[in-house]
Amino acid sequence: MIDPKIESALAAGLEAFSKYSTFNAASLTKVFEDVFASEHDFLTKVDLMDEVFNDHPQMEALREVFFDLLLVNFFSADVKKLEEDYLDSPEWEAIEEETLERGTELLNLLLYLNECQDEDIEPELEDYLKEFLLVDEDEFQDEYRIYEPVIAHQVLMESPAEEIRKVAEKLPEDSELKELFYPLMCFFQNINPSVETKNAIAANAVDKEFDMAVLETLISFS
């Protein structure tokens, strides 16, 4: 099964990547949809997805982003076919252990956007940080550490894309948000941007094909 939101996010991400790249990633939309929609177990789907990326190294940058999408699809679509308490089972625990190093912080954002839809609320950066990630709570200091660059630069919500880019470029290489900082901040600044705004975001992007693919994935998903 494939969640319709994931299906449209996949297509939007691949289309945006193609638009700003010399590689036609959009031609693989059906291939990825078939992997996501297949009846295989989660780890087999991960292997099948990895094979597509192995065969097309031009879009390697999207591999872990697509892992996040695959995981969210599992939570929203595949899990319905499994036992009610499957996510508490030793089997799922083993899968979590095996995929510990996979994915990005985009996973949290996608889960937050799902929650916003469920509760019919508009996604906002402050709400994401304080109410979803609970960065102010003592027991969530890992999240605080990861999101410190975002917490420290919330003023960028009122700044042009050029200023967001400047901060993104200065983030340390080992920051877990270095790659995602620019598209994440641009997304929260305007969750339904006009063509003109998207063009300005693209013009100032740090890594155009990746940044715009992530941005369009988020816009489509939300």
Give the pLDDT confidence of 126-147 residue by residue, as tens digits: 999 999 999 888 777 888 899 9
For residue 30, the tally of other CB atoms under 10 A from its CB is 10
CB crowding 66-80: b at 16 or more within 10 Å, else e: bbbbbbbbbebbbbe
CA-to-CA distance for 25 and 181, rounded, in angstroms?
23
User: What is the pTM for the complete model shown?
Assistant: 0.92
Tell me, what DSSP letter sits at residue 129? Answer: I
Closest CA to 72 of 140, 4, 146, 122: 4
Tell me, what DSSP letter sits at residue 38? Answer: S
Structure tokens at 189: 């600044």
Binned at pLDDT 50, 70 and 90, residue 186 comes out as very high
CA-to-CA distance for 96 and 199, rounded, in angstroms?
38
Structure tokens at 156: 């960028």
Q: Which amino acid is at 94?
A: A
CA-to-CA distance for 22 and 56, rounded, in angstroms?
13
> DSSP letter string over 52-96?
HHHH-GGGGGGHHHHHHHHHHHHHHTGGGGS-TTGGGSHHHHHHH
Phi/psi for 139 (5° steps) reads: -80, 0
Structure tokens at 169: 């470029």
Q: Which amino acid is at 34?
A: D
Give the pLDDT confidence of 54-86 residue by residue, as tens digits: 999 999 999 999 999 999 998 887 777 776 777
Give the pLDDT confidence of 14-44 residue by residue, as tens digits: 999 999 999 999 999 999 999 999 989 889 9
Check if the beta carbon of residue 100 is closer than 8 Å to that of residue 64.
no
